[in-house]
Amino acid sequence: MGKDKRKKMHLSKMYSIRRNGFEEDLSQIGGKGFSRVVHCNENGGLEGINLQNFADNYVRSTKYTPVTFLPKSLFEQFRRVANFYFLVNGILAFTPLAPYSAVSAILPLIVVIGATMVKEGIEDWQRQQQDHEVNNRIVKVHSGGGDFITSQWKKLKVGDIVKVEKDEFFPADLLLLSSSYEDAICYVETMNLDGETNLKLKQSLDATSSVNEDSKFNNFKATVKCEDPNASLYTFVGTMNFQEQRYALSPQQLLLRDSKLRNTDYVYGAVIFTGHDTKVIQNSTDPPSKRSKIEKRMDSIIYFLFFVLFLMAFLGSIYFGVVTKDDLDGSRMKRWYLRPDDSEIYFDPDQAPMAAIFHFLTALMLYSYLIPISLYVSIEIVKVLQTIFINKDVHMYDEESDKPAHARTSNLTEELGQIDTILSDKTGTLTCNSMEFIKCSVAGTAYGRGVTEVERAMAKRINGEDRFDEIVTEAYSHLSVKGYKFEDERITNGRWINEPHSDVIQKFLRLLAICHTAIPDVDEETGKVTYEAESPDESAFVIAARELGFEFYKRTQTSVSFKEFDPKSKKHVERSYELLNILEFNSTRKRMSVIVRDDEGKLLLLCKGADSVMFERLSKKARQFEEKTRDHVHEYADAGLRTLILAYRELNEKEYEEFNEKFTEAKNSISADRDDLISEVTDQIENDLILLGATAIEDKLQKGVPETIDKLAQAGIKIWVLTGDKMETAINIGFACSLLRQGMKQIVITLESPEIIAAEKAGDKNSIAKVSKNSVQKQIAAGQAQIYASKSDAYALIIDGKSLAYALNDDTKNEFLELAVGCASVICCRSSPKQKALVTRLVKEGTGKTVLAIGDGANDVGMLQEADIGIGISGVEGMQAVMSSDIAIAQFRFLERLLLVHGHWSYRRISSMISYFFYKNIVFGTTVFLYEAYASFSGQPAYNDWYLTLYNIVFTSLPAIALGVFDQDVSARLCLKFPLLYQEGVQNTLFRWRRIFSWMLNGLFSGIIIFFLCMKSLNPDSYDKNGKTAGMEIVGATMYSCVVWVVNCQMALAVSYFTLIQHIFIWGGIFLWYLFLIVYGALPSSVSTTAYKVFMETLAPAPTYWLVTLFVVIASLIPYICFKAVQMRFYPGYHGMVQWIRHEGRANDPEYFQMVRQQSIRTTNVGFTARSIARDKEFEWHLER
């Protein structure tokens, strides 16, 4: 079907499409919310309409612009309380109150803020590059005179006429004018919008369908009046004035941005909405500034330290004020060295209150070393390096799509280790959009030896190995047909004629070849037939029929032709059935039928549909295979397969004529209840059916999905599925990936009760809303009662989009969340993008837990941005989700390693690193405070200015960074073997207040030990052989050396996994301290001040210095060593037990290994492990019976 000729198929006559049906109430056009006026094909001359009133087609997903980067980035930095404090501190350092130089105070802040802003800028630049790719895509635009030129998407304007060709995305929201089909239909794939892979049929107005060639647009003019931009994907109200006639527009004529043209050579469309006015972008929100829970708690710790700092400064200042007031007792001076008799205000006894206030400000600056200024920038560095490890992980690289994992932001790596709930899209995320015919049941006999992903995963779980591998590889080595994975020698290659019920098999396969709406495309050179179908299911059916000898090859408006093997003549014959009617599938009917006349003149109704509606429509005399077929359908569902029941009946002429008259009348109706009229007529004819059998199709999951879900469930992570797909499809996928299983009780919330249907027919919107809301509330209450009545059972909650709209109301959402949290699985069907985002917000805010959302389409953008972490699937078409995500991966299965390995490591590393930072600063701050107290709170620092400045930046930060980047409590293999390790992050065991305070207490004890041992050891005895006593510079340098040694040795004790880099950083930090002392001390005394030659001439030659350092370091670390020894030996945590496996070399001890591993398998109702356990229990129950 080339592009140079018009397709002749009048498909509108096969369907019940309404092209120019009744006009709805269009009086609202021109009013509020319906004021948009578009002049089509005006090429910029819009007759008084200012084009600037409309948005351009440029789309931006970046966080900053060149104008907002500096102010917004600075705001991001200074909303961190520590950074703001150090800004104020830096300003005060320029006053005489400062106990140190201004440069030494302000330089660290500039380094910290500058490094963070550079990182933010680079990340946003990468987002801008992705925006650039989308905005510069090419489309053909009418330039006048019937000529179409290529133009970039971003240059499109409202009113432009564009030509979109097969397999291209629509660049904006377009009004369909005509297509390559003569009756102006086109097929559209909306996977990026609603997640559905089945194609949608769109059709233009009759009036514009003849404008179907480039040259015909030379004089084309039209005016569209329609609704203003809004987020509703499924509605569109408007009119078109064309050739002095007014036509009503409906969603049938609207082609949405980011949907894709399929099975149609080309379409022409007029641009209605552009850029951020398009419906898909209206459904998204601005990229939020996400902060991890650890970072938020870190702010709380900083606030606590501020409180301690202020308290210390306040108490010290009161003491200082009291003592200063008493400094002069007549002519006697108590603190003569402060010269209170000839002092400025800072030490003047007559102005003691002011002296206390000034001391308070000085103390605030001096004690600022309790607050780790380099903590934030160190965390930023660590997170960037962690994201590089994620990006470079070969185990998360997908060879097929050539795409590695890509962390698009580094702010949230530790959040990956704290996920409580995963909200997942279905299509393109759990599935790979590939249906395969794998099994069937005909005349009560099961056929097909295929093995599903679920069966394979369960077998691997039970037996420890994949026993199907060798069998399946051999059986399917010759099968290379997409959509067909069926193998059974009993009916393949024409051998079905030897089966006991060969006549039923023949009718079954004929039904597969006839009952569908697929279009065949025959290659003229090879004669090979391919099919263009509305859904992957239909494609799989016709391919299966072809491979089994019933090849559908031709369709006209009135006939369906196929080739089949004739048992009588033993030859392949061509048959042509007259196609009379197609009774379409919809979610209410749950079935589709065709009425045909065979080559013998018999009238046949061929029907396929869901078992829930088909079995009740069977004739009482034609149920001989029903029991066995039901059993087979049950088995297929348990294996994760999508099933349909196939049945037929013969019609007599009179019966058909009566039906056809009513059907035609209902189809041509222009009333609001047209669909209900059609449904009533079809219900009457689709009865007394004769059962043929059932089909079983595998909705091909992405590789490793069941195993991943099972492992995540063992890790204690809850998994919800939010999909735009219909309920039946979502339930089937739930079974396929083991979120659902046989025996799990389903709580289904839907609005399909007779009461609601009657209200909808009445058409009163208020009445419909009231009845629907009451119904949803009753169903939620009933579900809660059901769970409370039997808490031991496993429940699954399944809710459709209409019900979800009422469940998310403010007065209902808490009850809905309570019900959902009480269920093992939750599946939300027919969810709009807005609803996905609202559910995500409800779970995040309602539970207070960390929520991860994962999806692949533009319909998932709101959900990804609303979640604590958004994961975009980059392995499928469309970049909208990836561009709005925090991390992109190619396959759902990579989520297992991303969370259980990288998430666990990142959480543990960041938590330990932050705890260590507070520890080392409290050690340092304690010595500063105690020395100032020792110096009568005079504001005298214990250390040189540059000692103070470089402590956090140089001597102690690098080991902490190495801990945050390289440390591993257990290996990646053990993380995956023992998924319960992940619960450390979910329960936040490593960053709860108790653990943080224990590290602070450790720091306090270490600081006290260092100060008092140093002071007692160095005073008042002589320091060297010349009898010289230790002065302030010697005491300060010795105490500082002890602090550097203690905090770095403490790091060495805390590390679980040493690398060369960690050794270099830990011992290198100590080496740098001594190198600094030598170099800085060699500078002139005007520069080095108290550090002038203090090491080379005083410290190094004195044995006392080295003995004191050794003794103090050992004494400071003994409490921690004793505590960890007792804990690991007598009270090991779960991760401690796993560490013993590694340290004691018991990884090859299967008995011990299995004992520990059993503790990691949580009691769960989700995954194939749960399915296997449930089957074992059922089997034991039957044995007991």
Active site positions, annotated: 425
Cβ-contact 922, 908 below 8 angstroms? no
Strands (E), 535-570: 551-555, 559-566
Cβ-contact 1078, 1092 below 8 angstroms? no
Distance CA 82, CA 371 (A): 7
Residue among 1137, 1134, 1161, 1160 nearest 1149 (CA): 1137
Cβ-contact 547, 540 below 8 angstroms? no
Read off the DSSP letter of residue 503.
Answer: H
Structure tokens at 637: 């569902």
Beta bridge partners of 813: none
Cβ-contact 397, 390 below 8 angstroms? no
Structure tokens at 868: 């604590």
Cβ-contact 804, 819 below 8 angstroms? no
Q: Under DSSP, is residue 1099 helix (H, G, I), strand (E, B) or coil?
A: helix
Could you give phi then psi for residue 551, rounded to 5 degrees?
-95, 110
Distance CA 534, CA 177 (A): 21
Cβ-contact 538, 483 below 8 angstroms? no
User: Considering all CA atoms of the chain, what is the largest pairwise distance in Å, rounded to the nearest integer?
Assistant: 134
Round the CA-based radius of gyration of the chain to a whole number and report it: 37
Distance CA 259, CA 249 (A): 19
> What HEC string does 364-404 produce?
HHHHHHHCCCCHHHHHHHHHHHHHHHHHHCHHHCECCCCEC
Distance CA 189, CA 256 (A): 10
Neighbours of 159 (CB within 10 A): 25
For residues 259, 279, 724, 858, the Cα torsion angle rounded to the nearest 10 degrees is: 60
Distance CA 321, CA 337 (A): 17
Distances in Å between the Cα of 288 and the Cα atoms of 76, 182, 388, 799, 865 are: 12, 47, 23, 28, 7
Q: Under DSSP, is residue 1086 helix (H, G, I), strand (E, B) or coil?
A: helix
Structure tokens at 942: 């214990």
Distance CA 363, CA 938 (A): 9
Is 804 exposed, middle or buried (CB count within 10 Å of its CB: 0-12, 13-18, 19+)?
buried
Residues 6+ apart with CB under 8 A from 845: none
Beta bridge partners of 541: none
Residue among 610, 641, 301 nearest 438 (CA): 641
Distance CA 464, CA 830 (A): 38
Structure tokens at 1009: 């030990």
Cβ-contact 816, 808 below 8 angstroms? yes
CA end-to-end span of the chain: 64
Distance CA 286, CA 130 (A): 16
Neighbours of 92 (CB within 10 A): 17
Residue with tokens 């299995």: 1154
Could you give phi then psi for residue 943, rounded to 5 degrees?
-125, 160
Could you give phi then psi for residue 429, rounded to 5 degrees?
-110, -60
Residue among 31, 37, 42, 40 nearest 54 (CA): 37
